Amino acid sequence: MNLPSTPAVPRFAVVGASGFIGLRTVELLSDRTDCAVVPVVRTAASLAVLARQRLDWRIAGLLAPAPLAAALRGCSVCIHAAIGDAAQIVHMAEVAYRACAAGGVRRLVWLSSASVHGQDCAPGTDEASPLHDRHPLVYNNAKVRAERRLARLARDRRVEVVVLRPGVVFGPRSRWIADAAADLAAGRAAWLDGGRGVCNSIYVDNLVEAIRLAATVPAAAGEAFLVGDAETVTWADLLLPIAAHLGRNATVFHEVATAAITPERESRFAALTLTPAYARLTALVPARAKRLAKALAAAWATPPPPPNPWSFRGAPAAKSRLTTELTLLQRCRWKLPHAKASRILGYNPPVPFAEGLRRSLAWVDFAGLGRPPTT
């Protein structure tokens, strides 16, 4: 869809514009007069919400440079908020950079994650802390490798790269709010140590403000920034208000004890699907056969679940709902600083944590979440 825009106004492409973060980025930036927003999505079905606005949206695949470069033409900034599996994350980083270079985009704002430092990061961790790709979660390792790939590509100076590392991004439509409400309704809510661990939260509107600054501040080029809420928040600070809003209290949370974490295994099949040979082969296969093959491959490639890294105290294991990710997150005792983002970007979180949570709970009511399951 092509719409006229004022030449003097920079155009910001938002890749992954139909996702939780991408959609909110489009919503907030499209209200501004100092930029024009160009949503980029993978399929027409992803425009269900975006097409209601008068925006110059584009449809393009995100796993090959040429189609994405075509969608980015005329934009000065690419904000990459698309999600994918571990293999896709690293591949999309290279595709995004090459597409920006070919499409004449000046700056790429890459949405990475604070998980490059691990969910249970060491005290003192900041942007200067060395990264490694030996985390127990494949997602963390993929985010580290994607950042490294971008750093190597950016040596040619064709595109400025700015990396943002948000923590737990919450708000209306977020999985952190929806999953917590669902767990409370189903009686499987759980936490470690009474929820005393640090939750490195960032309300989604605060992240969008960091994205806007990363797209516009000249000194941001080539830098990576941790970004979060102003307050130091515990998991109890996040979860107890959700429980209270749904008519429950702290006694609903099962206390769990953790054991050793079993590292995840990376899928070799996922990496294979990104190769040119695989693309050429699948181009010859009918669509119906592709769907069947994908279903069979997914069933074959999915490894058996690792042993649970925790056990309940005085509660049946069937009530469980602490994933390995949540177990690691709730162990955290360090509030990740955003002093660098404040100093270089001028980042000052505009929405207090309490207000972000209030808006999130209003969405819980709107969406009808947290109701006990019907029988």
The DSSP code for 29 is H
More confident site: 52 or 299: 52
pLDDT in tens, 138-168: 999 999 999 999 999 999 999 999 999 999 9
Mean of the pLDDT values across residues 119-125? Answer: 96
Calculate the CA dihedral of residues 112, 114, 117, 118 and round it to 10 degrees.
Answer: -110
349: closest CA among 235, 169, 228?
228
pLDDT in tens, 28-50: 999 999 999 999 999 999 988 88
User: The dihedral of CA 125, 130, 135, 141: what is its sign?
Assistant: positive
pLDDT in tens, 276-305: 444 445 445 565 565 565 555 555 444 444
More confident site: 4 or 246: 246
Give the residue carrying structure tokens 């994650």. 113
For the chain, domain boundaries: 268-301
Provide DSSP, 190-225: EEEGGG-SEE-EEEHHHHHHHHHHHHH-GGGTT-EE
Q: Are 195 and 255 in contact (CB under 8 A)?
A: no
